[in-house]
Amino acid sequence: MQLKLKDKRILFELEQDSRQSLGQLAKKVRLKKETLFYRIKSLEKKEIIKKYLLEIDIYKLGYQFYPVLLRLQNTTPAIEEEIYNYLKTSQYTSWLTFCEGAWDINLTALAKNNFELKIFLDDFLEKYSEYIAEKQIFATSEITYFKRSFWLDKKPNKIVSSGGEFKEEIKNENLKLLRILSENARMPLVEIGKKLRVNPKNIAYQIKKLKQQKIIQGSRVFVDFSKIGYEFYKIFFSLKNMTKENYSKLTTYFQQQENILWATKLIGMYDLSIEIEVKDVEELRNMLKEIKQKFSNLIKKHESILIFEESIMNYLPEK
């Protein structure tokens, strides 16, 4: 689908802050509220907008992201769908994609520690180990999201980065609040209040407090890249000479490229992964060529996978 300029502007503003009101959005995109509401609903109906995401520093809650790559064997389309649906409904799945290349499934599990991760993997492999030819599991030490510009002549207002071991104490009520918002960041305060049986003013206060603690880092829109004519690739890099200064140079470069969305520091077979949106494989090759030329002193090797379906994205799935 070819996005109209107004729709790109709407997506850009929702990407910066998906919780802002219709009134605030209308002023920024210069549309009447009624027209804006119709356009947003149209983007949702076409499934260009898949959901509204709350950006949460899960490390501050005592969680860890574990990327997992799976290569399948001896399957049929029905078995693959069964495996995929199992992972879709798992309480540990934070991100789930179908892939093309050396790997068939790329997911990110959310767990408090290695023991929780083991529970998830043991249950999964007990059911489907005969269909798993190979798996790779990583831990993450830092994740950075570069907010999209949606190909407008505008710079996103920030990047979102988190990592480390620092943990904030959080009440159970606030954890429930975060889980609700992680499913729909645009949910009105009144509706949240009904779910939690709490006054909406108190909800607003708790959200403000969670922002001050930097547990809530912001909100954005979850867009189906394939609906707007783009291909989505994940690239893994093995690195050398990786100092804090060199990694900072890498992330600064990534931030300047409007096609690059994520950069994740990994512990495992690879040291770094990025996610890229491109128009075609030729654009991907040109970007990789530039990255390897610019950072030849840092990059040992890389591996690319095509993501053709992105099903689940949730910073804090329901446990």
In a domain, 224, yes or no: no
Whether the model pTM is above 0.75: yes
* Number of domains into which the chain is organized: 3
| Nearest in space to 317 (alpha carbons), one of 19, 68, 58 | 58
In a domain, 201, yes or no: yes
C-alpha–C-alpha distance, residues 216 and 253, integer Å: 26
In a domain, 132, yes or no: yes
- Residue 34: C-alpha distances to residues 30, 49, 90 (Å): 12, 18, 38
86 and 129 within one domain = yes
206 and 237 within one domain = no
299 and 239 within one domain = yes
Torsions phi, psi of 73, nearest 5?
-145, 155
In a domain, 48, yes or no: no
205 and 243 within one domain = no
199 and 260 within one domain = no
In a domain, 179, yes or no: yes
Of 155, 187, 212, which marks where a domain is finished?
212
Of 153, 177, 212, which marks where a domain is finished?
212
pLDDT tens track, the chain, 319 positions: 678 999 999 999 999 999 999 999 999 999 999 999 999 999 999 999 999 999 999 999 999 999 999 999 999 999 999 999 999 999 999 999 999 989 999 999 999 999 999 999 999 999 999 999 999 999 999 999 999 888 888 877 677 888 776 777 888 999 999 999 999 999 999 999 999 999 999 999 999 999 999 999 999 999 998 888 899 999 999 999 888 899 889 989 999 898 999 999 999 999 999 999 999 999 999 999 999 999 999 999 999 999 988 999 999 987 6
127 and 63 within one domain = yes
Residues spanned by the domain of 272? 229-310
125 and 70 within one domain = yes
200 and 268 within one domain = no
306 and 239 within one domain = yes
C-alpha–C-alpha distance, residues 303 and 315, integer Å: 25
284 and 237 within one domain = yes
In a domain, 89, yes or no: yes
Task: Report the largest interatomic distance among the alpha carbons of the chain, rounded to a whole angstrom.
Answer: 57
Q: What CATH code is carried by the domain that includes residue 288?
A: 3.30.70.920
Pair 276, 284: CB distance under 8 Å: yes
